[in-house]
Amino acid sequence: MQSLWNDADAPRFEGPLGQRVYTSRLLGQDHSLVLHGGGNTSVKIRQANLFREPEDVLYVKGSGWDLETIEAQGFAPVRLEHARRLATLEQLSDEQMVQQLRAAMTDPSAPTPSVETILHALLPARFVDHTHADALLAITNTSDGERRVREIYGDSVVVPYIMPGFDLARLVAELLPKHQSPNTVGLVLLNHGFFSFGDSARESYERMIELVSRAEAYLAAHAAVGPPVRVTTPPPVEYVELAALRRQVSQVAGAPMIMTTHTGARETSFVQRDDLAVITQQGPATPDHVIRTKRLPQLGSDVAAYAEAYAAYFAEHAAQTKQPLKMLDPAPRVALDPDIGLVTFGRTAQDAAIAFDVYSHTIDVILRAEALGGYLALSAAEIFAVEYWDLEQAKLKRGSSTPTFAGEVALVTGAASGIGKATVEALLRRGAAVVGLDLNPGVKDLFGKRVDFLGLETDVTREQDIAQALESAGRAFGGLDMLVLNAGIFGASRRIESLGLQEWRTVMDVNLDANLVLLRAAYPLLRCAPRNGRVVVIGSKNVPAPGPGAAAYSASKAALNQLARVAALEWGADGIRVNVIHPNAVFDTSLWTEDVLRSRAANYGLSVEDYRKNNVLRIEVTSRDVAEMAAEMCGPLFSRTTAAQVPVDGGNERVI
């Protein structure tokens, strides 16, 4: 492992806390060291308090912050002496520990200190780093892991596994004076990770790199790099079958879930191992990465049976603890199937992505440990203790607000601009994962690298493109809950006697036929939606009040409106709602070019400015106004409404 320290970058981070931020980010960049909020770092600083008296303060990573992106405000300032005195107590519950650490903070608005704050305080060095390095976990998760660790790290302190928190700090306080030597650069926590320390941020960081490098060298010397990846293509799976599996898991979870399918060569090679059931059912690489897994022998496996088994597991261990515990939802977060691939679940697309990232590293640990002689995780009781930790239970009791569309998937056509883009934004704000289709290739990069948005360059007039888009949506998010039919074209403004048949057909192809194909293809997915499917059609004021020069557009939108009404009739028994929005004069869309705007204004004998506000309220209607209505029509406020036609037009005299 190479140090990422850069002499040109480091000086930009001033002072001890700035240096702490810099090296913390270096650690966070490498996911083989820390994952998504895992690991922690600290620095001890002497500073003046309110009374201008010198005081030693421990700045330790706060809860909710990720080392990869941490800022100075992500460190909780804790009075060092108080933190150290806590270690002298005979016992201290986790909740008491958190309360005491928060009471010892010099800034009560800072985040809650890490549960390993006391351990950071006890280590005498100024800078302390803590990671869950994959290389170490591969070595310790074997039957003779402790012997191997002592062979590699004879000059470091080796600490048996114990849960993070007060008890771990007490054990380190006992072992450190007995086993520390002048050459000691860190602690090795079995089945947990490394602690390194030093007098400078660089020294502590590079000692961590040294510790991990020694583990990697040991693995290489013992050819423990796992078997070669077999390039195997899994059998094709229909996206409707994926949606049905997602529905099962969502029912078990009690809420909609995002489901992401991974079928790369590495994942496929792993899930098709003959010993998969043995090596994957022991437990996680470290309790810090607790993820419930389930090997599904075949598509359509009884997820409910798995939930029952998990509930029994919970009941057994809860009875042993004799504590009133709240069971986490019993749905799996990882499923392994030779015919599907590696599947991850989450209440959000981010949660599903984190589950994949964690399990991807778990695969590395398992394969390396197998090469050393066999993967062996901690006991079920030890894993249960972390999963139903007092601190986790406290989080459950506090609860948190859930976005309206958390766990749900929407598809929006014409998503690259105007009403379509605004609708994507409205749905994302409400917590949905969104698939955006557009002929414009820019749709792919519309929202950067967000994991909850998939932009697909798609010609909606091609059935093959639509099928591929729905398959991509199924593999990315698991199915479809909401469909917003927005894509459309206006065409040149022509009177009927001048309207060519090909122009007519082109408008019909995009505005009507493409939507029929998409509705037909999406129906099986909408029927599998955990909270029932919803369709919103972006119609037009031209349906109730057509305008001169817009025969093709008006007719196509009127036909689409009738198609939506029939869909509402036919799909109501499946719980699918179909509603229509009729916007008018929304000029911040690609539909309204300057030429079209001038032409339409001339047809009404108005200036362009007057035409923009040619409505009863004399206001301009924007794409966001329409998008907000579209999103709300997919939400609970319209749960008893289908086949509605709602104008968003500022009031139109001809319609009224």
The predicted-structure confidence for 213-246, as pLDDT tens digits, reads as follows 999 999 999 999 877 777 667 667 889 999 999 9
Tracing tokens 């049976």 back to the chain, one arrives at 305
Best CA proximity match to 27, nearest among 13, 8, 41: 41
Residues 466 and 507 in one domain: yes
Residues 84 and 158 in one domain: yes
Residues 281 and 160 in one domain: no
Q: Which CATH number goes with the domain that contains 14? A: 3.40.225.10
Residue 399: pLDDT band with limits 50, 70, 90: low
In the residue annotation, 553 being an active-site residue is answered as: yes
The predicted-structure confidence for 301-322, as pLDDT tens digits, reads as follows 577 777 777 778 778 777 877 7
Percent of the chain with pLDDT over 90: 69
Q: Is the pLDDT of residue 608 over 90?
A: no
Cα-Cα-Cα-Cα torsion 423, 425, 429, 434, nearest 10 degrees, comes to 80
Q: What is the Cα–Cα distance from 137 to 442, expressed in whole angstroms? A: 42
Residues 419 and 545 in one domain: yes
| 354 torsion bin: left (phi>0), alpha (psi -120 to 50), beta (else) | alpha
Mean pLDDT of the region 285-303? 62
Q: Which CATH number goes with the domain that contains 256? A: 3.40.225
Residues 70 and 36 in one domain: yes
Inside any domain, residue 74: yes
Inside any domain, residue 422: yes
DSSP string, 20-52: HHHHHHHHHH-TTT--TT--EEEEEEEEE-TTS
Residues 386 and 495 in one domain: no
Q: What pLDDT is attached to residue 480?
A: 98
The predicted-structure confidence for 24-57, as pLDDT tens digits, reads as follows 999 999 999 998 778 999 999 999 998 999 999 9
Tokens of 277: 């059931």
Inside any domain, residue 227: no
Number of domains present in the structure of the chain: 3
Tell me the pLDDT of the chain averaged across its residues.
90
Q: What is the Cα–Cα distance from 277 to 296, expressed in whole angstroms? A: 9
Inside any domain, residue 5: no
Mean pLDDT of the region 453-470? 97
Determine contact, residues 175/159, Cβ cutoff 8 Å: yes
Q: Is the pLDDT of residue 294 over 80?
A: no
Q: What is the Cα–Cα distance from 651 to 625, expressed in whole angstroms? A: 13
Burial 152-190 (b: 16+ CB within 10 A, else e): bbeebbbbebbebbbebbbebbeebeeeeeeeebbbbbb
Residues 322 and 287 in one domain: yes
Of 364, 398, 432, the domain-final residue: 398
Residues 299 and 153 in one domain: no
Q: Is the pLDDT of residue 298 over 60?
A: no
The predicted-structure confidence for 124-157, as pLDDT tens digits, reads as follows 899 999 999 999 999 999 999 999 999 999 867 8
Residue 98: CA count within 13 A, CB half-sphere: 14
> Which of helix, strand or coil describes residue 550?
strand
The predicted-structure confidence for 494-531, as pLDDT tens digits, reads as follows 999 999 999 999 999 999 999 999 999 999 999 999 99
The predicted-structure confidence for 541-585, as pLDDT tens digits, reads as follows 999 999 899 999 999 999 999 999 999 999 999 999 999 999 998
Q: Is the pLDDT of residue 285 over 70?
A: yes
Q: What angle do CA 635, 641, 644 make, to 5 degrees?
A: 110
Among candidate residues 310, 553, 604, 611, the one labeled active-site is: 553
Range of the domain at 560: 409-586+622-648
Residues 493 and 421 in one domain: yes
Inside any domain, residue 234: no
Instruction: Choose the weakest-confidence range: 8-12, 399-403, 459-463.
Output: 399-403
Residue 117: pLDDT band with limits 50, 70, 90: very high
Mean pLDDT of the region 281-300? 64
Residues 569 and 442 in one domain: yes
pTM score of the predicted model: 0.90
Greater confidence (397 vs 127) lies with 127
Q: Is the pLDDT of residue 592 over 80?
A: no
Of 398, 426, 446, the domain-final residue: 398
Q: Which CATH number goes with the domain that contains 529? A: 3.40.50.720
Of 221, 250, 277, the domain-final residue: 221
Q: What pLDDT is attached to residue 301?
A: 58
Q: What pLDDT is attached to residue 303?
A: 79
Residues 185 and 245 in one domain: no
Inside any domain, residue 601: no
Q: What pLDDT is attached to residue 580?
A: 98
Q: What pLDDT is attached to residue 88?
A: 92
Tokens of 495: 């009177």
Percent of the chain with pLDDT over 70: 94
Residue 289: pLDDT band with limits 50, 70, 90: low
Inside any domain, residue 616: no
Q: What pLDDT is attached to residue 178?
A: 84
Inside any domain, residue 490: yes
Residue 160: CA count within 13 A, CB half-sphere: 6
Residues 386 and 415 in one domain: no
Residue 511's CB is within 10 A of a number of other CB atoms, namely: 24
